[in-house]
Structure 1
Amino acid sequence: MTASPELATTQSASPELLRSVFRQHAAGVAVITAQGEKPVGFTATSLNSVAAEPPLISFGVGASSSSWPVIAGAGHIGVHILGEHQQDLAATFARSGADRFALPTSWRSGPEGVPLLDGVLAWLVCRIIDRVPAGDHRIVIAEAVVGDPAGAGRPLLYHQGRFNALRD
């Protein structure tokens, strides 16, 4: 019996396999922010809608991330859905060691003191209700408190390790 072509490249589970598989999964791009002694934020492709009633979201954050200590103690976070015109902003918030809130990043202090980014497609301020350990990450579950869905434009996507725009 010979292996089928579909199984010829089967690999054992590993971090590399997981990354390779998820490079095939196009995901929306968000930036999560929180306020500590100074504002923190990071680019996330793990944002999910969890429930409509109550309105819950979730996202993953690395336990070794520079943002994690602030998020671990924060009561509220900001969730920003990025538009295709914001590839540079996504890259800034994905870059380790960057001063993410310096110019040219345009932002303001929003409800609950959460840093809100300007020019996004939509944003939410959410109250954190749980932080769940998950391997080398934490899954944060939060309830939407206030937001604005009225930004203009098309969403930014992440696929094959790059930020992309939708094609018509």
Structure 2
Amino acid sequence: MTVPTDLGTPRAATPDLLRSVFRQHAAGVAVITAPGPRPAGFTATSLTSVAADPPLLSFGISTGSSCWPAVSEAGHIGVHILGEHQQELATTFARSGADRFAPPTSWRPGPHGVPLLDGVLAWLVCKVVARVPAGDHRIVLGQVVEGDPEGYTGTAGRSRPLLYHEGRFNALRD
């Protein structure tokens, strides 16, 4: 195997450099929801499994996000893994100023009042255990309290995740 040796021209560290590099990194797509007088939710590609025992996960959220006030106050949050059939849902929850929980979004109140989205591949409800400052974001640590790993399976009986790559939502290819 030949290993490429041209690393290109280094660029100074900027927000644009970070965004440009991470456009090359395919990520799973999730929607994070928080309860409140008006439920809140946003599309996240920063979801990470942190530990198995106790079961912990993390995600990042901008402190400038319209959802930050709800997430900053929430005792519990919902984590929804989206399937390839949910590009429109991902776009809705990524859109600024959208009424994300209005039709056609289908959802119901779940454990601890957390809004749960219908038709997702899997979901978790997590107790928020920390909000760690990280620049203009917070890294939220959640401890899983319950969930369902066997959500929507589609017409072929298989679950296929929605991915985010090069600034677009994508599906896996066979």
Q: TM-score, normalised by structure 1?
A: 0.96
Note the 1:9-24 alignment, pairs <5 A. Answer: 9-24=9-24
Correspondence list, 1:66-145, <5 A: 66-145=66-145
Q: Which amino acid aligns with 1:156?
A: L
1:26-75 CA-partner distances (Å, limit 9, x unpaired): 00000000011110000000000000000000000000000000110110
CA shift at 1:9, angstroms? 2.3
Q: Distance in 2 between matches of 1:60 and 1:104?
A: 26
Q: Judge which range, 94-103 or 148-157, deviates more.
A: 148-157
Give CA-to-partner distance per residue, 1:103-161, whole Å, 9 cap, x none: 00000000000000000000000000000000000000010000000021200000000
Alignment partners' CA distance in 1, 2:13 and 2:136: 16
The alpha-carbon deviation at position 6 of structure 1 amounts to 2.6
Query: Counterparts in 2 of 1:156-167, with a 5 A limit?
Result: 156-167=162-173
| TM norm structure 2 | 0.93
Counterpart amino acid of 2:58? S
Q: Which residue is 2:156 aligned to?
A: none
Q: Does residue 155 of structure 1 match 2:161? A: yes
- Output the CA distance in 1 between the equivalents of 2:80 and 2:57: 12
Structure 2: gaps (5+ residues): 154-158
Please list every run of 5 or more consecutive structure 1 residues that lacks an aligned counterpart in the other structure.
Answer: none
In structure 2, give the amino acid aligned to 1:84: E
* Amino-acid identity (%): 74
1:10 Cα offset (Å): 1.2
Alpha-carbon distance between aligned partners in 1 of 2:21 and 2:67, rounded to the nearest angstrom: 26
Tell me, in whole angstroms, the C-alpha distance in 2 between the residues paired with 1:9 and 1:124. 43
Quick one: distance in 2 between partners of 1:8 and 1:60? 30
4+ residue runs over 6 A deviation: none
Amino acid at match of 2:91: A
Matched position secondary structure for 1:6: coil
